[in-house]
Amino acid sequence: MSPVVRVWEGAPPAEVMDGASADAWLDFDADVRCLDDRPWLPARSPGEPDRPAPTLLDRLRGRTRSMVAPPTSPPVPPAITLCHPDGRIREAALDAARTEPELRPLLAVRCTDWVSQVRERARALLAELPADALFPLAELILRLSRRSRGGFARALLEDALREGPAAEVLALTAHPDRAMDRLAYRIAVERGLLTPMELAATAAASGDVTLQDLCAEAAVKSGATEGPDAAAVLDRLLTARAPRVRAAGVTALRRAGQYGDAEPFLVDRSGVVRACARYVLRQGGIDPLPVYRALCAEPAARPAAAAGLGECGDRATDAGTLWALLGHPLPSVRVHAISGLRALDVVERERLTPLLDDPSPAVVRAATRALLPDAAGIPEHLLRERSAPERPRAVRVAADRLLRAAVRQRRPDPGYG
C-alpha cells in the first residue's frame, strides 16, 4: 500500500516513513499531488456501482474545504496538507511541522517550494529549530540542495555542522550517501577533527577521487609531516593504490626534506606519480634524466622507466633507445616504450604499424592510441585485413578504431561559408 494512503488512513508518518530515504520523502510529496491517477484507487464506491468513486484527491479537497465549513469528515493529516496542491493549504499546515519532529522532513521540502510565501515561512520555521534537529535531515537537505531554491537549508546544515558536536560530524563521515560523506569530511577537515593518520587511511581506502584529494592534501599539509606519525602517514600514502594519493605522498617528500626517497617513484605505473617524483628530485638538486637512462639499459626490472625517459628525455638522444625497446621480449616494456615515444612526439607511422599484430593485447592498444592521430595515413587495405574475423579480438578492435578515425580525418571540413 502506498505510504500516502497509509498516512491518509490514519497511520502516523513516523511509522510509515521510519528510516525512509531522502528520495522516499520527495516521492511522498509528489505522490500527494498525483493521487487522481493511482491504480490502487477503487473504480466504484461501495454500494454505488453506477457512480464513479471519488479519487483520493477529490476526497482531499472535500476534507480541506471542511476545515473552513463545519466538519463533516475527519481532518486531513498534516503530512498530507503539507504537500497539498494548494499553496495556501500548504502554508497553513507549516506550523504543525514545527512542533512535530516526524513532519520536519516535509518542512525541509517546503523550503524549496515554488510559492514564495510557503517557501519563506518554511525557511523561517526551519531556522528556528535547534541545530541538532537538522542532523537527521542532512541527507534530505543535501538532496534538496540540487534544486534551484535548495541553498538555504544547506547553509543552515553546514553552519550546524561547523558549530555542533564533533561526534555528529564524524558520524556523518560514514554516511552511505556520497554527497553527505563529502560534506562531512570537508567540515571535519576544516575543524581539525581527524588526525593525519586517519586522513591518510581514508585517502588510501576511499574510491571517491574527491575524498582522495581532500584527505591526502589535509594529511600532508604544513606541519603534518613533522609529527610523531609523520613516517607512518607518508608510508600509508605512498603505498596507496590510487595514483593521486601516491602523488600527494611523493610531493610531501619535498616538504619533509626527503628528496632522495622520491627516486623509486620515477618508475611508478602512473604518469602523474612519475611527474611528481621528477619534481621532488629536481627540488633536491637531482636530475632524473640520467637515472632514467641508466634504468632503460636494464628495463625488465623497471618497465615504466621507458615511459619516464620519454616524458623528460631528449628527442635526438633518447628516441633511439625507445625505438630499440619496442623489440624487448616483455610486453610491459614495449607498452611503456610506445608511451615514451608519444611523450617525445617522435611517433613514426611506418615503424609503429607492425605492432598492431603484436601478440600482447596491451601493446596493440598502446600502438593504436599512438597511431590514431595519423590514422588516415595508414593504407586502408592493411586495416581491412586486420578486421577479418579470424584475427585476434584486440587486432580487430584496433583496426576498426583506426578505420573510423581515418574516415573522420578524411572528411572535408564543412567550414562556415
Helix 271-283 and helix 243-255: axis angle, to 10°?
A: 0
Q: Which three cell numbers stand for residue 255?
A: 616538504
pLDDT attached to residue 36: 53
The 10s digit of each residue's pLDDT in 349-387 is: 999 999 999 999 999 999 999 999 999 999 999 999 999
Nearest to 196 by CA among 217, 176, 213: 217
How far apart are the C-alpha atoms of 361 and 383, rounded to whole Å?
Answer: 16
Residue with cell 579470424: 390
pLDDT attached to residue 221: 85
Whole-model pTM over 0.85: no
How far apart are the C-alpha atoms of 100 and 125, rounded to whole Å?
Answer: 12
The 10s digit of each residue's pLDDT in 246-283 is: 999 999 999 889 999 999 999 999 999 999 999 999 99
Low-confidence ranges of the chain (pLDDT < 70): 1, 35-74, 222-227, 413-417
> 142-148, long-range: CB within 8 Å, 24+ apart, which pairs?
142/22, 142/177, 142/179, 142/180, 142/183, 143/22, 143/23, 143/26, 143/179, 144/22, 144/26, 144/108, 144/109, 144/111, 144/112, 147/112, 148/112
pLDDT attached to residue 227: 65
